[in-house]
Structure 1
């Protein structure tokens, strides 16, 4: 693959508030022809010279707002040092946050830090991802055919979303004036969308929720945001960004931007999310494939579930007919609430994440080289446990979920899935995809 452009190194620098969100965004950029690298946290040294875009994956979605801001600013400083010309703050397409943050505080801090750049006085906030059923209309977020607060997200254990009006949600998190880019302007195309942005800026709006109901709306918004220093949203709005750099002569056509090296070895599926989608995926797998459940209450009692899970997996991939297994802590919202009531919200989540992370580390030692992981927090814990520093982003498995391969000397293949993403047969599909990764 030959890519020629006027700038050496990345032109777009991205900050994601969780690991699966980072791969979701990177997937969109690869689809747009941008060679994309995802780092796990802020790298210590420059290592992105051969990429068009870099996505720094943080684990900041549910941490204290001040800590989330500090991490985002550290990521921004590193991305600026790589020569990036525009920046993107990526959060979940269901706008996961609380009244304390973290979307508002991080957006404010990034705009403040970029204040010497043109276009740093204003940005949009657009979580829409129509391909996965997330749309925004008159400022209200829909998941499929229902409002956000009727989608199951109202039961999220850490960031329950009970208000579908994103203008209200974001205004509670920020001192900046929040406005709305209405669908009636967006649907008319880039020029009308840009005029709507300019009108809001004249009204001293600093952050505007942007309506979008289809990919054409996202392309229009992406083009309208070409001159902004910072864009924020879900991965969907990134659809329109690569073409801006191409039009500016900073990015050439890049065929096979998602080409990955091959990886051989056993595989495992790890699921820590309690979302509806992941529950359905776990149930589909368990019909005819081996699985092992990790019970948080049993973990809290000190039962050796990690050791049992490792032995269970090893027995299946080390036999005469090797089989991938599912190791899961997924359960219903009611059971999650019961566990949280007994253990506390933070401890319950940490127990599961650390258990699955330890399982992953032990299985890698035993030769596992392919990991499918469900859940943003779980994915973050797993990649940290595996010591992964950065990932090459490959082709899409399901909307928002690409195949990836680590850049280690002994690479591993990973599919890191947001809890809400993927078809019911995602686990099997992802394993087949990772098996088919070729050089």
Structure 2
């Protein structure tokens, strides 16, 4: 059994669907799952936390608690899922969380990679690329919460951890020498091994080499490689089809791709409401005004968009006026309240853009977890809950420009 601990909610859905594609029966929990009541009916457990930008001590405590729950379920391999753009601050939380879990599990070397070629993320010579540019030259350099200004992963990780980091180079991956290289790094006193991978074949090779490793980390790409190594044989039931019913879109991400998707919603003529935190810093009144607007809409206008997404210059003005943490907290709180009001009004499909936004939505709705369904885009599956509510939690950078329009039809 594989147990994954994800540092945000959209990342959790991404890793859950990567496992499920390979026939791994996967259950997803938002927050700590209950203690098991009987034999497991699944092969993998994914726990979605909201720790990417949490205070370091909180992130470590939550992740350690998640490890305890996974151990109580008999998990043999733990996978720490972080973003394919290595989203983190200079202090963490990737390094502190891995330090704590590796210590708790007495693991001397942890192999990992953020490579996810299907999303344009690749690692070469220890450097992370986004498309054909280095991470620090990509849009992630200007991320409002986790600006990434260095592309060399060992250096980034060593800045967050008490331990050394090294590289398993692409030639070693493709020669089948991953195990030998990990042994060399261990002998040198290196705890973290960043594994190069530029295509899916590299990830499958890495997954095969790490099939018995007790602790592994990375983005959804490597999780798919591990799933290939553990894949069940025989027929796997197809995921549930895309849901129908009243829909609404909530966008808080300011990533370049989400901005394109928001623009596509507006260009398609969908009703759109902007949550302006400069005009009003009270989440209750922000959400209340948005819901009053929703109540005036004609159902024939199509699924509406509620958004706080902003271009970099506008975002800087907001952050300079209110501060980064305060402005983000206001947006997340308001969007959570809007989500509650929409569900109370009969919305059965909630589409959320952004990891922090999705965490706020799920928390406000009190959703404990769900079954992974069909993908609206690669790595963006529908989640079917026991209450009948369907969620689509989209990472800020995922999906084609028309995703929000298509998913909310």
TM class by shorter chain equals over 0.9
1:43 aligns with 2:33: yes
1:209 aligns to 2:194 (yes or no): yes
Choose the corresponding residue for 2:139, options 131, 146, 152. 152
SS of the aligned residue for 2:373 comes to strand
Distance 1:399 1:262 in 2: 14
Q: Establish whether residue 16 from structure 1 lines up as the match of residue 6 from structure 2.
A: yes
Name the SS for the 1:105 alignment partner.
helix
CA distance in 2, matches of 1:411, 1:348: 32
2:229, 2:316 → 1: CA distance? 45
CA RMSD of aligned residues (A): 1.8
Q: Deviations over 1:6-65 (max 9, x none)?
A: xxxxx1101000000100101100111112111011123327822211110000000111
Residue deviations 1:210-248 (CA, integer Å, cap 9, x gap): 1111111111111111121011001100112123334xx
Superposition pairs for residues 61-80 of structure 1, below 5 Å?
A: 61-80=52-71
Q: Which residues in structure 2 correspond to 1:148-297 (within 5 Å)?
A: 148-188=135-175, 191-246=176-231, 251-256=232-237, 259-260=239-240, 263-287=243-267, 288-297=269-278
Alpha-carbon distance change, 373 to 194 in structure 1, aligned in 2, over 3 angstroms: same
Distance 1:64 1:50, change over 3 A: same
Kindly state the Cα deviation for residue 260 of structure 1 after the two structures are TM-superposed.
2.6
Q: How has the CA–CA distance of structure 1 residues 51 and 344 changed in structure 2, closer, same or farther, with 3 Å as cutoff?
A: same
Query: 1:51 and 1:373 mapped to 2: Cα distance?
Result: 27
CA 57–361 in structure 1, closer or farther in 2 if over 3 Å, else same: same
Q: CA deviation at 1:286?
A: 0.3
Distance, in Å, in 2 between the alignment partners of 1:183 and 1:81 is: 37
Distance 1:303 1:232 in 2: 38
The answer as to whether partners of 2:283 and 2:331 remain within 8 angstroms in 1 is: no
SS of corresponding position for 1:299: coil
Aligned pair in 2 of structure 1 residues 342, 90: CA closer, same or farther (>3 Å)? same
Q: Which residue of 2 aligns with 1:32?
A: 22
Q: In 2, distance between residues paired with 1:217 and 1:195?
A: 16
The one-character-per-residue Cα deviations of 1:364-383 (angstroms, maximum 9, x if unpaired) are: 01111101100000000001
Task: For residue 98 of structure 1, report the CA deviation from its aligned partner.
Answer: 1.7
Per the alignment, residue 376 of structure 2 pairs with 397
In structure 2, what is the Cα distance between the partners aligned to 1:376 and 1:284?
20
Contact 1:313–1:324 under 8 Å retained in 2: no
Q: Which residue of 2 aligns with 1:124?
A: 111
Counterpart secondary structure, 2:375:
strand
For the Cα contact (< 8 Å) 2:283–2:334, is it kept in 1?
no
3-state SS, counterpart of residue 356 of structure 1: helix
Structure 2 residue ranges without an equivalent (≥5):
none
- TM value normalised by structure 1: 0.89
Question: Residue 284 of structure 2 contacts residue 337 of structure 2 at CA under 8 Å; is this kept in 1?
Answer: no
Relative to the length of structure 2, the TM-score reads: 0.95
User: How many Å separate the matches in 2 of 1:35 and 1:297?
Assistant: 45
CA contact (8 A) 1:35 1:254 kept: no
Distance 1:364 1:203, change over 3 A: same
Structure 2 counterpart of 1:435: none
Partner Cα separation in structure 1 for residue 398 and residue 221 of structure 2: 13
The corresponding residue for 2:50 is 59
C-alpha contact 1:369 1:412 (8 A) present in aligned 2:
yes
The 1-side partners of 2:26 and 2:287 are apart by 34
Q: CA deviation at 1:307?
A: 2.1
